Amino acid sequence: MFKSLMNALKVKELRVKILFTIAMLAVIRLGSAVPVPGMNVSVFQNWFKSLSSSDSFGFMDRFTGGSFENMSILALNITPYITSSIIIQLLTIAIPKFEEWQRDGEDGRKKLTALTRYVTVALALIESIAMAIGFYRNQGFLSEQSIFLVIQVVVALTAGSAFLMWIGERITENGVGNGISIVLTINILSRMPSDFKALYDQFVSGKPIARGVVSGLIIIAVVVAMVVMVVLLNGAERRIPVQYAKKIQGRKTYGGNRSEIPLKVNTAGVMPIIFAMSLFQFPIIITQLVGYKGTGFWGKFVAYLNQSNWCNPNHWEYSIGLVVYILLLIFFAYFYTSITFNPIEIAENMKKQGGFIPGIRPGKPTSEYLNNILNYIIFIGACGLTIIGVLPILFNGVFGAKVSFGGTSLIIVVSVILETIKQIESQMLVRNYKGFLED
């Protein structure tokens, strides 16, 4: 990884792109320290830390790199963009026009991208209005109870989210890697030093030497094991061989070559975890924003949804929520793959191009074969996702190790880093080809 980066820095074009990306990330981190106008940040932080179930907002805070806890102008960060992208992807199934745009190539993708931007701004506006109203109702959050100040808060939060979306797109165009993914990754990485310090203070500092060393080694082993699992899960794939029939036109022979269809084991990526966690956290966030303190049915229901209560030795009954969470992970793994991978369409395209899988007839038998293999590897990928996603929750419940770099964060960070390195290497390879051709 470091060798690829050092080689890339020697190339002027890539060096400019890398430095541009670093500069944009520096702007983001600076913006994360600029508070929203009129906010009493210290009052908000005290309220944030006093939440009995802070994991609900912690899920948002880890994706914003601490911007939410600091209530900066970038507090909403790119979460509206992520939600917007998910909504648009789901709507491509339900709305034929969107599906047509998705197949139209570059022009269709531009229309979907523009629509994603509009929905992002709309979601950011809705979220900022809801937050501003909550700040207005809670005495002390705003420096003064003023409607004008509420409008300022709404404008600042909405503009901050739109600004981050713009930076992400600029990084994609003029930097390296996918801009939105890199912004999300730097936010997650920015929280890790404080998490490791919290683990050190909790399990190592002040403990007997032997116990502290053993605890430190266990922490390192767990983190390394999870990173290795993420790397293996991210790179694992099943390759389906494809043979193309020979065609003779005049004196020339076409086709006859072999290729492969790479089916990733973790086809859905991190999306199943994000979908499932979002469903669980939404009722908790709404409950806390409205200030509900009841202990009736709704209070019990929210307690089952709160992952900080799972795997608690004193209250194992709350782990029913964990069982539902695992089932949702598996369901969303199949669901998301079904909307992003179409075996019937692939089988039809192979048939039109004269391709076939050895031993499998073209057409419907091919699509059924692909579907059977896909169902098998999706289950393996879902099991891997479950282990990575549940392991931090288990340590949190049993040992009280509260950190932000859960399975979701690690999958995002490792996947984005590997993908960015691949893109840098591919750009270097293209440059070498160009140099060879020019010579």
Query: pLDDT tens digits, residue range 206-237?
Result: 888 888 888 888 888 888 888 888 888 888 88
Indicate the residue among 115, 144, 175 that finishes a domain. Answer: 175
Chain-centroid distance, C-alpha 340: 16
Answer yes or no: is 131 within a domain.
Answer: yes
Domain termination site, one of 175, 201, 226:
175
User: Mean pLDDT, to the nearest integer, of 182-188?
Assistant: 86
Residue 426 to residue 66: CA distance in whole angstroms: 33
pLDDT at 37: 87
Q: Do residues 237 and 128 both lie within one domain? A: no
d(CA 435, CA 249): 35
Three-class DSSP category at 36: coil
Residue 18 lies in a domain: no
Residue 316 in any domain: the answer is yes
What the block records as the tokens of 435 is 């140099």
Average pLDDT over residues 65-77: 86
CA–CA separation, 129 and 325 (whole Å): 30
Question: Does position 137 have pLDDT exceeding 80, yes or no?
Answer: no
pTM assigned to the model: 0.78
Q: Give Cα separations from 277 to 55, 244, 269, 292, 418 (angstroms).
A: 11, 43, 14, 21, 24
Task: Indicate the SS3 state at residue 358.
Answer: coil
Highest mean pLDDT: which range of 2-11, 67-76, 192-201, 338-347: 67-76
Comparison of pLDDT for 358 and 102, the residue scoring more: 358
Residues in Cβ contact with 148 at an 8 Å cutoff, skipping those fewer than 6 apart: none
Residue 330 lies in a domain: yes
Average pLDDT, the chain: 81
Residue 369 has pLDDT above 50, yes or no: yes
Residue 410 near residue 230, CB atoms below 8 Å: yes
Q: How confident is the model at residue 79 (pLDDT cuts 50, 70, 90)?
A: confident
* Same domain? 121 vs 233: no
Identity of the amino acid at 143: S
Quote the pLDDT of residue 437. Answer: 46
Residue range 68-89: mean pLDDT, rounded: 86
Mean pLDDT for the stretch of residues 144-148: 84
- Per the structure, how many domains does the chain have? 2
The predicted-structure confidence for 394-437, as pLDDT tens digits, reads as follows 877 777 666 655 667 777 788 888 888 888 877 777 665 545 44
Higher pLDDT, 308 or 148: 148
pLDDT at 53: 47
- Select from 89, 80, 146, 150 the least CA-distant residue to 119: 80
Question: Tokens at residue 116, please?
Answer: 């994603």
195 and 156 share a domain?
no
CATH of residue 356's domain is: 1.10.3370.10
Lowest mean pLDDT among 178-187, 334-343, 374-383: 334-343
Tokens matching residue 329:
């992970």
Q: Residue 7: inside a domain, yes or no?
A: no
Same domain, 220 and 294: yes
The count of other CB atoms within 10 Å of the CB of residue 128 is 24
The residue range of the domain holding 118 is 32-175
Give CA–CA dist 167/302, Å, rounded.
36
Are residues 250 and 162 part of one domain? no
* Residue 229 placed within a domain: yes
Residue 186 lies in a domain: no
Q: What angle do CA 65, 151, 115 make, to 5 degrees?
A: 65
Give percent above pLDDT 90 in the chain: 9
Dihedral sign (CA 264, 270, 273, 275):
negative
Q: How far apart are CA 388 and CA 407, in angstroms?
A: 5
Cβ(430)–Cβ(438) below 8 Å: no
Q: Do 160 and 234 belong to one domain?
A: no
In this structure, are 323 and 248 located in the same domain?
Answer: yes
Same domain, 323 and 354: yes
Confidence of residue 246 (pLDDT cuts 50, 70, 90): low
Confidence of residue 159 (pLDDT cuts 50, 70, 90): very high
Q: Which of 415, 428, 431, 383 is nearest to 185 (CA)?
A: 415
Distances 260 to 12, 93, 241, 359 between C-alpha atoms, Å: 35, 27, 4, 15
Checking if the pLDDT of 57 tops 70, the result is no
Task: Tell which wins on pLDDT, 233 or 1.
Answer: 233
pLDDT in tens, 308-359: 778 877 777 888 888 898 898 888 888 888 877 888 888 888 888 778 888 8
Residue 265: exposed, middle, or buried by beta-carbon count in 10 A (0-12, 13-18, 19+)? buried
Domain finish residue from 175, 199, 229: 175
Q: Looking at the structure, tell me whether residues 209 and 126 fall in a common domain.
A: no
- Shared domain check, 363 and 434: yes
* Same structural domain, 202 and 109: no
291 Cβ partners below 8 Å, 6+ apart?
A: 138
By C-alpha distance, which of 50, 30, 31, 53 is closest to 42? 50
264, 382 Cβ separation under 8 angstroms: no
Residue 180 located in a structural domain: no
Q: 2: pLDDT confidence band, cut at 50, 70 and 90?
A: low
* Token digits of residue 368: 């059924």
pLDDT in tens, 8-24: 777 778 888 889 999 99
Is residue 170 domain-shared with residue 219, that is, in the same domain?
no
Q: What is the pLDDT of residue 432?
A: 59
With bands split at pLDDT 50, 70 and 90, how would you rate the model's confidence at 52?
very low
**Rounded Cα distance, 362 and 166, in Å:** 45
pLDDT at 284 exceeding the cut of 80 = no
Q: In angstroms, rounded to a whole number, what is the distance separating the alpha carbons of residues 388 and 405?
A: 11
What integer is the mean pLDDT of 35-56? 75
What is the band of 125 on the pLDDT scale with cuts at 50, 70, 90? Answer: very high
